[in-house]
Structure 1
Amino acid sequence: MTNNQPSPDGILRLINGYWATGIVSASATHSVFTHLENGADTAADVAIRAGISERGAQTLLDGLVSVGLVGLRDGRYRNTAEASAYLVEGTPASLSSFAKLKLTHMNALADLPEVVRTGGPVKQVATEVADNPHWAEVVPAIAAQSVPAATIAADVLRLPEAGAISILDVGGGSGIYSAVWLEANPDARSTQLDWEPINAIARRLLEERGVADRFTCIDGDFHTTDFGTGQYDVALYSHIAHQEGPEGNVEVFTRLRKALKPGGALVVCDYVVDDDRSGPAFPLLFASEMLLKSKQGGTWRRADYHDWLIKAGFEDVSFHSAPPATLVVARQRRRPVL
């Protein structure tokens, strides 16, 4: 642009951001990333392997180059390292199922102006209904998102060398944390508390991973189910805090502290924003999801988590990066024996 006038390119990309969701979702639906990983490197190759039109394949490849998920060199296409790690089917951290799922959620954004006006959902909140059939699709699709954070958390807690520990996963969903942690520590045992339909999904995943013999479930709602007292070495509260309000989180953290053995650790994983709300980018955007789908949730600040955990009786609180999430580890110090 002349006269130092800024270009509208960035604004137009944002306004038309749904194109990117469509391109990634359609590419995942037709296994484009998997075919590229397995040697297809032209639109014609992708079209044949995926069973789609060559025109359609070329459009998807053009879009993937645009959003930075596919590279083009000398007329040949290949996945970027990011796409290879997270969008190829069958890999532990594959988000391809999640990419397909998000396309079905796009219509909900049309409600955002009214949701912003009223300050909360204008339709039934699916996350608050135990028997909603959408869990069967959503829970497995989002499992892979937690693989990197679960792996980092295992290192932070030094789980592989922790011995025969007991784990409580509150609202554990797919059971992916238990799967990763039980694989890392063959002497550990894990208990998941969640609604019965979701626990059934978790049991299947743990059976597939070969660690179901050390995994048990409690069917119930974590808001009302007793966690016990002094029973667990590690407790987990992953991607639940963003659905709850401040008072609810303090109440759950307090009960989780009581459920831990002396010196035990609570791990909270969530999309956490900086204290001045200047970043990180993904958690800031995720706040709109909570406005659409929860009655009091949000993306909370580091200072919020620190204050809530101290109020709940923890004494040591530390933060660990697990992009795009943050791990918050809280402990109550062991008391000296007099």
Structure 2
Amino acid sequence: MTSSQPTPERIMQLINGYWATGILGAAASHALFTHLASGADTAERIAERAGISERGAQTLLDGLVSLGLVESHGAGYRNTAEAAAYLVEGQPTCLSSFARLKLTHMGSLAALPEVVRAGGPVTDAAVEVADNPHWEEVVPAIAAQSVPVATAAADLLGLADAGAVSILDIGGGSGIYSAIWLGLNPAARATQLDWAPVNAIARRLLAQRGVADRFTCIDGDFHSTGFGTARYDIAVYSHIAHQEGPEDNVAMFAKIRGALKPGGTLVICDFVVDDDRGGPPFALMFGAEMLLKSKQGGTWRRADYRGWLAKAGFEEVSFEPTPSPATLVIAR
């Protein structure tokens, strides 16, 4: 057999890809990365700190070495730079709670063959409702994803030196954009429009950050609640477009355009695919999540955003990379 011949190794890794979700989710559940960061550098020490079996600790360590999140170091182990930055608890960028959350979602993928046949969800889980108690778990868990993106957007917009700007965050969830942006600009004010239980979570975060006095919430559904006319300098539409269909996105962009002051800026954050649908890999795969969970959503092309934003009255559109799989779309 020559080296040019294909082997089944990569396909075997993909078939068993759920192992990665399981290992990472279990490690996060037992705060393994945090224990490593605090000096517990062997399976025995981690087992003692986490209250788990030594065999279990060693199995997780082996799996995390395989995933490139932990590396052997002398007689022990340590976090890689990537794990140290994004999986140690207590940091605003920590994704461990998100890893634990995704572990609970693994079973839903078994329905994907039927969902593909039907072209959308085959059960009505009634998740996207205001009074679902899961928001208390989900909203804080996904906030960390937006920290590097919101910071990058602030740099692009020159927000720290922008003075007394007014911000509208549509479906803002945890309020992380407002928390970061108000922290950078002491003269800015932000308004978040989201369901009341979600806004309550955001208020807690803004209070923890010490900027709640410049943060206002509007309780409601952004599809039916008015945004006002020429009221805001900046509007944020983060991770909303992928759950909406084309017509709804056009309508929302037009509504936002009316709410912005002349010269105002719309900041969209989402997983955007190339026009030829050749990449990026994460955005392409995320489409399966939308097929499972939304009736019209998807991962949209750059050309889709350009067309929709032009219809809504925006004249300038740019696409900016971020330190995450998400892309920023800046429209004026």
Which amino acid is the alignment partner of residue 231 of structure 1? Answer: R
- Give distance in 1, aligned partners of 2:73 and 2:3: 35
- Corresponding position: 1:279 with 2:276: no
Which amino acid is the alignment partner of residue 98 of structure 1? Answer: F
| Deviation larger for 126-135 or 65-74 | 126-135
- Give distance in 1, aligned partners of 2:12 and 2:265: 46
The alpha carbon displacement at 1:75 in A equals 3.0
Aligned match of 1:236: 236
State the Cα deviation string for residues 243-266 of structure 1 (Å, max 9, x = none).
Answer: 001110000000101100111100
The alpha carbon displacement at 1:7 in A equals 1.9
Alignment of 1:146-165 (within 5 A): 146-165=146-165
Aligned match of 1:211: 211
The alpha carbon displacement at 1:126 in A equals 4.0
Alignment of 1:79-118 (within 5 A): 79-118=79-118
Q: Does the Cα contact within 8 Å between 1:173 and 1:198 map onto a contact in 2?
A: yes
Q: Supply the RMSD in Å over aligned alpha carbons.
A: 1.1
Q: Does the Cα contact within 8 Å between 1:119 and 1:291 map onto a contact in 2?
A: yes
Structure 2 length normalisation: TM-score? 0.98
Aligned match of 2:253: 253
- Give distance in 2, aligned partners of 1:84 and 1:287: 29
Q: Does the Cα contact within 8 Å between 1:192 and 1:216 map onto a contact in 2?
A: yes
Q: 2:291 aligns to what SS in structure 1?
A: helix
Q: 2:92 aligns to what SS in structure 1?
A: coil
Aligned match of 2:264: 264
Which amino acid is the alignment partner of residue 258 of structure 2? Answer: K
Aligned match of 2:227: 227
| Deviation larger for 206-215 or 67-76 | 67-76
Alignment of 1:278-297 (within 5 A): 278-297=278-297
Aligned match of 1:319: 319
- Corresponding position: 1:129 with 2:139: no
- Give distance in 2, aligned partners of 1:203 and 1:298: 30
The alpha carbon displacement at 1:5 in A equals 3.3
- Give distance in 2, aligned partners of 1:95 and 1:230: 37
Structure 1 length normalisation: TM-score? 0.96
Runs of 4+ aligned structure 1 residues displaced above 6 Å come to: none
The alpha carbon displacement at 1:318 in A equals 0.7
Q: Does the Cα contact within 8 Å between 1:127 and 1:293 map onto a contact in 2?
A: no
State the Cα deviation string for residues 125-156 of structure 1 (Å, max 9, x = none).
Answer: 54531111211111111110100100000000
State the Cα deviation string for residues 199-245 of structure 1 (Å, max 9, x = none).
Answer: 11111111111111110100011111111000000000000000001
Structure 1 stretches lacking a partner, 5+ long: 332-338
The alpha carbon displacement at 1:96 in A equals 0.6
Identical counterparts, % of pairs: 73
Q: Structure 1 residues 3, 183: closer, same or farther in 2, change over 3 A? A: closer
Which amino acid is the alignment partner of residue 324 of structure 1? Answer: P
Aligned match of 2:329: 328
Aligned match of 2:71: 71
Which amino acid is the alignment partner of residue 330 of structure 2? Answer: V
- Corresponding position: 1:42 with 2:46: no
- Give distance in 2, aligned partners of 1:73 and 1:134: 40
- Give distance in 1, aligned partners of 2:2 and 2:273: 37
Which amino acid is the alignment partner of residue 206 of structure 1? Answer: L
The alpha carbon displacement at 1:3 in A equals 7.4
Aligned match of 2:176: 176
The alpha carbon displacement at 1:76 in A equals 2.1
Q: 1:292 aligns to what SS in structure 2?
A: helix
Which amino acid is the alignment partner of residue 78 of structure 1? Answer: R
Which amino acid is the alignment partner of residue 267 of structure 2? Answer: V
- Give distance in 1, aligned partners of 2:12 and 2:309: 42
Aligned match of 1:142: 142
Q: Does the Cα contact within 8 Å between 1:125 and 1:294 map onto a contact in 2?
A: no
Aligned match of 2:10: 10
Q: 1:192 aligns to what SS in structure 2?
A: strand
- Give distance in 1, aligned partners of 2:190 and 2:126: 27
- Give distance in 1, aligned partners of 2:126 and 2:140: 16
